[in-house]
Structure 1
Amino acid sequence: MAKPPIPLGSWGEISTWVTATDGKGKPIKYKSQAKFRDHDGHVRQVSAYSKTKTASERALLKKLQDRAKTNQSGELTALHKLNHLFDLWEKRFEALVADGTRSPTSLDTYRRALKNHVRPALGELRIGEATTPRIDTVLTKVKTTAGGPTAKTCRAIISGAMKLAVRFGALSVNPVREVDSIEAAPKAPPRALTSEEVTLLRRSLAADERAVEADLPDLVTFMLGTGVRIGEALAVLWHQVDLEAGTVEITHTIARVKGEGLIRKPTKSKAGERLLHLPNWAIAMLRTRHAAGIRLDSPVFPDTLGGYRDPSNTRRHLRTALSPVANTARRDLGLTLRALRREAHLTRKQVAEALTRAQTRIELIETGRIKVDRRLITDLIGTYGLELENLPALATAVDRATQPTESDKLAWIRSHALRKTTATALDEAGHTARQIADQLGQARSPSPRTSTWPAAWRTLPRPRLSNEPSTTPTYPD
């Protein structure tokens, strides 16, 4: 009867013999060898050497065990470093982006997480060393240092890479599967602006020179009238606006892709392509811009050179504009603090590092765009080697700057609040969750019979069909 073959991924009997001796005939080198049947069905000799018989056999056994984890294609093994696995996963994600099934902005997000967190923590480990406890420890540290959302992104990357390792046989199970779930503290519930806050916002932006220079008043008006995202608003071209019918087509969004710059790409899903009807006050704003002279292939909200605006820069300008707009007292105090910092020969970055605060916060203080108190100013000028008690004029200026102003009511606003404000108006007008999601550009919405709708779904307006009467939110002029 024929001898049965060695099973795939297994080996036969281990043989060991002496391969070298010293001058006295004492063995100084051993060789251990065994036949191994690879995953392609071929039987190959595997060898290992050491100074003793036991060490030689142990080294061979380790090589055989590692070889047993070799995948069918030979592209990945348990001995490959995780950096190699991440490279392979990244190339596959790039292919999905090229096919249009994944967003290039998602790729940029994953690349940042890979570079800043995943590779430094795991990249030099072998695939076989990526155990559940080790990955769990890494993700816990990322959550502590960078926050829950970043930790979830890292978890998604590692899980996707490990799935790839399982597919090619380098691992038998995905070690991320049993990693503890990442719970992040809930954000404050979304909130819509009241009519009074809308009036104050539009008035404050119109009176803010930097906001006007950044073309924010008209952009915010457009977003309030449509509920679109910033990237979608910046991607609208003039030929997509019909001032006579009072409609605008939303088909694309603006994104910055590494190596390509700003691109105008289609919305994430077909649901994002929609025809929206505009309120009269938004149409009036667009007519004014149109009268100044336009090109049909130009953006409605261009940059200073007439091209596409960067959504990230626009968000930063909007955050700055929505900070408490500087009154005279805060502006004067900011100028004084800037002069004191310069006299101390310090940069904003150096001050921020000394206070363990963000550099942008120092800029907001010096431009009068943030509420201050005596403790904050005391800590700040302490880095300049000064004491507030010894500067009575500065102390008086601080007292004047700490008085509340009307614009402080705008400090909580973020761009998503503009979408929610538009949506809330139509939600209160009786529109369904499906209609609300259509305006938002979402592919799915909860059933109207559901009693626990997520707030973000309940508060977004819908596109109006051409044969329907106009139902648009009304805001004070």
Structure 2
Amino acid sequence: MSRPPLPIGTWGSISTKVIKTDKNGKPVKHQAQTKFCDHDGHVRQVSAVGTSKTGAETALKQKLQDRARTNQSGALTAMHKINHLLDQWEGRFEGLVADGRRSPTSLDTYRRALKNHVRPALGELRIGEATTPRIGTVLTKIKTTAGAATAKTCRAIVSGAMKLAVRYGAISVNPVREVDTIEAAPKNPPRALTGEEVTLLRKSLAADERAVEADLPDLVAFMLGTGVRIGESLAVLWSQIDLEAGTVEITHTIARIKGEGLIRKATKSKAGERLLHLPNWTLAVLRSRHAAGIRLDDPVFADTRGGYRDPSNTRRALRTALSPVGSTARRDLGLSLRALRSETGMTRKQVADHLNWPQTRVELMETGRIKVDHQLVTTLVATYGIDLDHLHGLRAQVQDAIRPAESDKLAWIRSHALRKTTATALDQAGHTARQIADQLGQAKVSITQDIYMGRQAANPAAAQALEHAFDDLDLP
């Protein structure tokens, strides 16, 4: 039986021979050679030399790998490493970003997933070794260790790369196609705020010095009145506000790009570019800010230096403002606990290690950002050699701190809850899903319906229709 032909881009067995010796007959130069099937289908002899047999073989293998990568058609083979495929896929995506067809924030997200998950798990495999079961196992592990959202991102990357491999002829079928869909119920399904919660939220922010300093009351009012994303809110310039017509033009969003910093970029899709009419209470907020003096090219919600605000920092400020620190007693208790630790000379890490706690728990207790109870504080101060029952002042602080605060009702709120609240209010007012999607800047109505529109009671006229349909039934 004849030997099967070499696949394109691969080579046969490597042989070595001595091609030079010194005056004592000791080998000083070796040659390694093999046959390589080039990308035009011709099999050619390829060789390399080295001072030792191993050195010659290593040099030849490097030469063969470089030759396999270099070809006129840009084709891939099943023998290429997946890392090489991912390099090509990433380069193509970078081109789409440069052309404005993909978002630079998506590229950042994909790069993190590539570095942390996809390349470590699959990068050193050959393209032909990336079978459906193997990829499925990898994605399942990523879902377990990093979560469903990360696993979905990784699945999209691998699927896109394998499509490229199919297009270039390395494989005939995308192995990701048959991998199970990654599904997971959200840990905290988004819900809309009630009218009472909206009132409490605005009052709570207005009364919180740190929230006012972070310019959150007006920003939250703007987001509730428009339904825009937090990045879109921070990208609005005064030139895009028409106080007479009562409108705002949404065209950009703020994003932080690695290596570039904060940028003002076009919205996620064409649907994101929209002209929105503002409710009177939102207009009142903007008129008040406008009266304080503005420049048309300034952001409406600027940072302390008049530049663009970081969306991540703004979300963090909102989380801090809404975290359970509603009572002064919690903050006072935190200061007391911090002072006790300082007296002992211990660091937070030392305390956390001693109690086998996460370090953040100690930090949250000392900043008053966690609900505490008598047992939790007793355990902590025991580390400092203190019996809580013997410190009447501290015990009284604990009793005050464990009482529920009104603002505890707001601790669950995140920026997307404001967006859902706007959508739900419009839904309850009888607006169509298409109208609500246009307000939110979403191209797909299905996303608006599934995520942002709250479930209401089924058609109330259904009962009446069924009653008329079956009211003459002669039941036994």
Superposition TM-score tier, normalisation by shorter sequence: 0.7 to 0.9
Shift of 1:88: 2.2
How many percent of aligned residue pairs carry the same amino acid? 76
Shift of 1:343: 3.2
CA spacing shift, 1:213–1:422, aligned 2, 3 Å: same
> What pairs up with 1:333-344 in 2 under 5 angstroms?
333-344=333-344
CA shift for structure 1 position 406: 0.8
Q: Say if 2:374 is the partner of 1:374.
A: yes
| Equivalent-residue separation in structure 2 for 1:154 and 1:382 (angstroms) | 46
Structure 2 counterparts to residues 40-119 of structure 1, below 5 A:
40-45=40-45, 73=73, 76-119=76-119
1:399 and 2:399 aligned: yes
TM-superposed CA distance for 1:455, in Å, is 4.7
Tell me the alpha carbon deviations over residues 187-240 of structure 1, each in whole angstroms, 9 at most, x when there is no partner. Answer: 443322122211111111111111111000110111111111100100000011
Structure-2 change in CA distance of 1:9 and 1:421 (3 Å):
closer
Q: Match of 1:253, SS?
A: strand
Check the 8 A contact 2:9/2:79 in 1, yes or no. Answer: no
1:246 is aligned with what amino acid? G
- Deviation of 1:256 (Å): 0.8
Q: Which amino acid aligns with 1:429?
A: A
Q: Which position in structure 1 is the counterpart of 2:358?
A: 357
Could you say what secondary structure the match of 2:445 adopts? coil
> Is the CA contact (8 Å cut-off) linking 1:193 and 1:421 kept in structure 2?
yes
Q: Where do 5+ consecutive residues of structure 1 fail to align?
A: 1-5, 21-30, 49-63, 460-477
Change (3 A) 1:283 1:135: same
Q: Which residue of 2 aligns with 1:283?
A: 283
Q: Supply the distance in 1 between the matched residues of 2:431 and 2:359 (Cα, whole angstroms).
A: 42
The whole-number CA distance in structure 2 between the counterparts of 1:382 and 1:296 is 58
Aligned residue pairs total 426
Q: Which amino acid aligns with 1:118?
A: V
Q: Secondary structure at the match of 2:275?
A: strand
Q: Look up the match of 1:302.
A: 302
In the TM superposition, what is the alpha-carbon distance from 1:371 to its structure 2 partner? 1.7
| 2:420 alignment partner AA | K
- What SS does structure 1 have at the residue aligned with 2:228? coil
Matches within 5 A, 1:398-417: 398-417=398-417
Alignment of 1:152-191 (within 5 A): 152-191=152-191
Name the CA distance, whole Å, in 1 between partners of 2:169 and 2:207.
64
For 2:296 and 2:16, how far apart are their aligned partners in 1?
84
Unaligned runs of 5+ in 2: 20-30, 49-63, 456-476
Q: Which residue of 1 aligns with 2:151?
A: 151
User: What letter is aligned with 1:104?
Assistant: P
Taking structure 1 as the reference length, the TM-score comes to: 0.78
CA pair 391-417 structure 1, distance change in 2 beyond 3 A: same
Within a 5 Å distance, the mapping from 1:320-469 to structure 2 comes to: 320-348=320-348, 355=356, 357=358, 359=360, 361-381=361-381, 388=388, 393-446=393-446, 453-457=449-453
1:327 maps to amino acid: S
Amino acid across the alignment from 1:162: M
In 2 relative to 1, CA 70–412 (structure 1 residues): closer, same or farther, beyond 3 Å? same
Measure how far apart 1:250 and its partner are: 0.8
Moved over 6 A (4+): 16-20, 31-36, 67-72
Conserved? CA contact 1:83–1:123, under 8 Å: yes
Q: 1:194 to 1:33 in 2, by over 3 A?
A: closer
User: Equivalents in 1 of 2:240, 2:247: separation in Å?
Assistant: 8
Deviation at 1:75, TM superposition (A): 5.6
Tell me by how many angstroms 1:458 deviates. Answer: 5.6
1:9-28 equivalences under 5 Å are 9=8
Tell me how far 1:330 sits from its aligned partner. Answer: 0.8
Distance in 2 separating the partners of 1:207 and 1:105:
35
